[in-house]
């Protein structure tokens, strides 16, 4: 899973990135919107992995991973002028979701480009830039479709006309400042749109970057009016400070500021929920590992997440729930109590399932 972090200049994107990834990227360096990208891959915090590792004592413990990409600031009016920088657009297009950082903090040393802090105004400005970027792609595609229809064979015309109709609907929506995520499409149209990687079609997580004392007064529901959008609050500067602390000092610091857990934990869970993802596990003496799949994934899809050979040669999946595994204590006890079961290709994997794939290739 890859999450792109975007925002207007001086919104605190890189501060949030540093807090999430324990990085020390230079803040304020990417306000121009020209190609600066920080990338970090971090473990998905999951207490279940540590507990399973304690039970099986493997030589290796591997958590699920998520990549955060801190993309240069998207300046107001940039898309309408020169368009988003190609490197920025390419980086964002590859992301599964967009984390939209919105400034909600006051800082006399870092003046807001607009002269005042207004989170709703800034979020709308950011969304407009993404809408204009998508609109430019739609308009170029319509030009190519129109040219293609003039010389299309009879067997090609129906497909091209259907695609043209879809693009005209998208154009109308974007021109009315409606993101593509809010446009109703058929399953076939949805498959067609995946190839375009439109920015406003991606799930979005709005992060209000608060003052150190956590003052806000903002209405999060006003930030989530669009489909596939959720919102949360983070004290970015404080979270970055926490992230730089040694592990033994972190708990005391969190307690002193009445923070239940680091922002990374909260944000990753929110990202998982937004994307409809979950974790399943494989266990053994060699390795305990968490794997990421979409909710509703079948056993054969989970096998493919481990390795394509397991999906290709899938026979059965030996399955036990995490709770049953903890209650039994050992796989031998789980077998004795009949908690291990065999499931076929169409079994719907549940969050926390422990799988052993039987296969033959």
SS3 296: coil
CB contact at 8 A, 202 and 100: no
Q: What pLDDT is stored for residue 33 in this prediction?
A: 47
Question: H or E segment at 266?
Answer: helix 263-275
CATH number of domain containing 93: 3.40.50.300
- Per-residue pLDDT in tens (0 to 9) along the chain, 361 residues: 889 999 998 899 888 888 888 777 666 554 544 556 888 888 888 999 999 999 999 999 999 998 888 987 677 665 555 557 788 888 899 999 999 999 999 888 888 888 898 999 999 999 999 999 999 999 999 999 999 998 888 888 999 999 999 999 999 999 999 999 999 999 999 998 988 999 999 999 999 999 877 666 666 766 777 778 888 888 888 888 888 888 788 888 888 877 778 877 888 888 888 888 999 999 999 999 999 999 999 999 999 999 999 999 999 999 999 999 999 999 999 999 999 999 999 999 999 999 999 999 8
Domain finish residue from 174, 199, 224: 199
Residue 139 lies in a domain: yes
In angstroms, what is the C-alpha Rg of the chain? 23
SS3 readout for 238-255:
HHHHHHCCCHHHHHHHHH
The C-alpha atoms of residue 66 and residue 43 are separated, in whole angstroms, by 7
Residue 78 lies in a domain: yes
Phi, psi of 260, rounded to the nearest 5 degrees: -65, -40
Taking the CA atoms of 249, 250, 255 and 258 in sequence, report the sign of the dihedral they define: positive
Q: Could you write out the DSSP letters of every residue in 88-132?
A: HHHHHHT-SEEEEEEEE---TTS--TTSS--HHHHHHHHHHHHHH
Residue 283 lies in a domain: no
Residue 317 lies in a domain: yes
pTM over 0.75: yes
> Which residues partner with 207 through β-bridges?
101, 232
95 and 230 inside one domain: yes
Domain finish residue from 150, 171, 199: 199
Residue 315 has what DSSP assignment? E
220 and 107 inside one domain: yes
145 and 98 inside one domain: no
Residue 123 lies in a domain: no
Looking at the structure of the chain, the number of domains it has is: 3
Q: What pLDDT is stored for residue 357 in this prediction?
A: 97
Q: What pLDDT is stored for residue 34 in this prediction?
A: 52
Q: What pLDDT is stored for residue 83 in this prediction?
A: 59
The C-alpha atoms of residue 212 and residue 220 are separated, in whole angstroms, by 18
> Which residues partner with 285 through β-bridges?
none
What does the buried/exposed string (b/e) look like for 240-258 if buried means 16 or more CB atoms within 10 Å of the residue's CB? bbbbeeeeeebeeebeeee
The domain of 32 spans 2-116+203-274
Residue (of 55, 57, 59) closest to 333 by Cα position: 55
25 and 79 inside one domain: yes
107 and 238 inside one domain: yes
> Which residues partner with 348 through β-bridges?
298
Q: Could you write out the DSSP letters of every residue in 182-223?
A: GS---HHHHHHHHTT--GGGS-EEEEEEE-TT------GGGG
SS3 318: strand
Q: How far is CA 280 from the centre of its chain?
A: 18
Residue 289 lies in a domain: no
83 and 208 inside one domain: yes
CATH number of domain containing 184: 1.10.150.300
Query: Who's near 234: CB < 8 A, 6+ residues apart?
Result: 16, 19, 207, 208, 209, 210, 263, 266, 267
CB contact at 8 A, 54 and 7: no
Residue 290 lies in a domain: no
Query: Who's near 171: CB < 8 A, 6+ residues apart?
Result: 135, 138, 139, 142
237 and 111 inside one domain: yes
- Name all contacts of 161-164 with Cβ < 8 Å and 24+ positions apart: 163/192
CB contact at 8 A, 201 and 180: yes
Q: Could you write out the DSSP letters of every residue in 147-192?
A: HHHHT--HHHHHHHHHHHHHHHHHHHHHHTT--GGGS---HHHHHH
**Which strands sit side by side in the sheet containing 314-320, from one edge to the other?**
60-62, 287-294, 277-282, 354-359, 314-320, 341-343
Residue 226 lies in a domain: yes
Domain finish residue from 149, 167, 199: 199
Question: pLDDT (tens digit, 9 = 90+) per residue, 127-182?
Answer: 999 999 999 999 999 999 999 998 888 888 999 999 999 999 999 999 999 999 99
237 and 95 inside one domain: yes
247 and 189 inside one domain: no
142 and 192 inside one domain: yes
183 and 303 inside one domain: no
106 and 219 inside one domain: yes
Q: What pLDDT is stored for residue 73 in this prediction?
A: 67
């Amino acid at each position: 899973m890859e999450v792109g972090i975007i925002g207007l200049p001086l919104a605190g994107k890189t501060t949030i990135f540093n807090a999430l990834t324990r990085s020390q990227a230079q803040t304020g360096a990417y306000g121009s919107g020209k190609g600066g990208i920080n990338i970090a891959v971090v473990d998905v915090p999951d207490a279940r992995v540590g507990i399973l590792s304690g039970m099986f004592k493997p030589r290796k413990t591997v958590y699920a991973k998520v990549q955060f990409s801190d993309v240069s600031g998207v300046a107001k009016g940039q898309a309408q002028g020169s368009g988003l920088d190609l490197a920025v657009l390419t980086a964002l297009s590859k992301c599964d979701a967009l984390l939209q950082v919105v400034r909600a903090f006051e800082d006399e040393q870092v003046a807001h480009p607009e002269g005042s802090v207004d989170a709703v105004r800034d979020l709308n400005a950011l969304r407009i830039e993404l809408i204009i970027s998508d609109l430019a792609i739609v308009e170029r595609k319509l030009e190519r479709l129109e040219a293609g229809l003039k010389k299309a064979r009879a067997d090609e015309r129906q497909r091209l006309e259907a695609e043209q109709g879809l693009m005209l609907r998208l154009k109308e929506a974007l021109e009315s400042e409606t993101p593509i995520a809010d446009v109703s499409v058929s399953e076939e149209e949805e498959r067609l749109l995946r190839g375009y990687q439109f920015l406003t079609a991606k799930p979005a997580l709005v992060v209000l970057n608060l003052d150190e004392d956590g003052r806000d007064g903002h209405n999060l529901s006003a930030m989530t009016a669009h489909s596939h959008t959720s919102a949360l609050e983070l004290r970015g500067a404080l979270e970055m400070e926490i992230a730089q602390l040694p592990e033994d000092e972190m708990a005391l610091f969190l307690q002193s500021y009445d923070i239940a857990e680091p922002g990374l934990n909260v944000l990753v869970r929110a990202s998982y929920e937004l994307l409809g993802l979950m974790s399943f596990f494989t266990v053994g003496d060699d390795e305990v590992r968490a794997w990421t799949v979409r909710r509703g994934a079948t056993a054969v899809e989970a096998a493919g997440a481990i390795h394509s050979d397991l999906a290709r040669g899938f026979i059965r999946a030996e399955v036990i729930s995490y709770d049953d595994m903890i209650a039994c204590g050992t796989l031998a006890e789980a077998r004795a109590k009949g908690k291990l079961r065999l499931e076929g290709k169409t079994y719907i994997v549940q969050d926390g399932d422990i799988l052993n794939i039987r296969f033959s290739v």
